[in-house]
């Protein structure tokens, strides 16, 4: 986590254009991010699976939030907007859960786990894993795919149809 946060702070301080890195150095930063993000995704999944829905532990909730936050920071530093959007939605919902504004339920945990799977695929696409679609080709699936839509609905954003119903009382 510290290596990813340090990289994020360095990129913000120096600016993407002002940061002069040789190809090899940049590859090292990418490798660090990919390794750390993979570890954070495993940690996040472990905490989600261990979370007691009836009596969620605040420290576990905080650990899940920190993992998503760290992934978002590193992804943002590299311009991986698909991952940044996904983790932003996760963070927003997790923050409401941490503050007690919403109650944890099994459906949310399922959506969080699906979102973790989506983040793993997005990470694999940026890493260049074989058999994983390039991030640009997946952009629409992120916005319209089930994990993203489910997160927006859980966060109160709904989908296009729910907003259309709210405005005219009928389904779109």
For residue 18, the tally of other CB atoms under 10 A from its CB is 8
pTM of the model: 0.69
Confidence label for 132 from pLDDT (cuts 50, 70 and 90): confident
Closest CA to 70 of 11, 16, 8: 8
For residue 69, the model assigns a pLDDT of: 96
**Chain-wide mean pLDDT for the chain?**
77
* Token reading at 117: 């799977």
**Which is more confidently placed, 114 or 136?**
114
- Compute how many other C-beta atoms are within 10 angstroms of the C-beta atom of residue 123: 23
Q: How far apart are CA 95 and CA 155, in angstroms?
A: 10
**Nearest of 125, 42, 115 to residue 85 by alpha carbon:** 115
For the segment 31-66, what is each residue's pLDDT rounded down to a tens digit?
999 999 999 999 999 999 999 999 999 999 999 999
* Token output for 112: 């969080």
The CA distance from 78 to 6, in Å, is 13
Name every residue whose Cβ is closer than 8 Å to that of residue 4 and which is 6 or more positions away in sequence.
32, 33, 36, 37, 70, 71, 73, 74, 77
| pLDDT surpasses 50 at 139 | no
Tokens of 21: 């890195």
Q: How far is CA 52 from the centre of its chain?
A: 22
Residue with tokens 């920071």: 73
What pLDDT digit, counting tens, does each position of 66-112 carry?
999 999 999 999 999 999 999 999 999 999 999 999 999 999 999 99
What is the token pair recorded at 144? 């319209």
């Amino acid at each position: 986590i510290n290596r990813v946060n340090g990289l994020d702070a360095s990129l913000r301080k120096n600016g993407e254009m002002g940061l002069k890195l040789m190809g090899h150095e940049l590859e090292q930063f990418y490798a660090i991010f990919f390794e750390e993000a993979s570890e954070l995704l495993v940690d996040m999944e472990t905490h989600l699976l261990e979370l007691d829905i009836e009596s969620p532990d605040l420290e576990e909730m905080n650990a899940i939030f920190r993992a998503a936050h760290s992934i978002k920071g590193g992804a943002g530093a590299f311009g991986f907007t698909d991952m940044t959007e996904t983790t932003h939605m996760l963070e927003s919902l997790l923050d409401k859960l941490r503050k007690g504004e919403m109650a944890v339920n099994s459906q949310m945990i399922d959506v969080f786990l699906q979102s973790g799977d989506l983040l793993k695929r997005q990470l694999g696409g940026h890493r260049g894993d074989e058999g994983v679609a390039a991030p640009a080709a997946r952009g629409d699936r992120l916005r319209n795919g089930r994990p993203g839509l489910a997160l927006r609905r859980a966060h109160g954003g709904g989908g296009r149809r729910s907003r259309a119903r709210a405005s005219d009382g009928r389904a779109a």
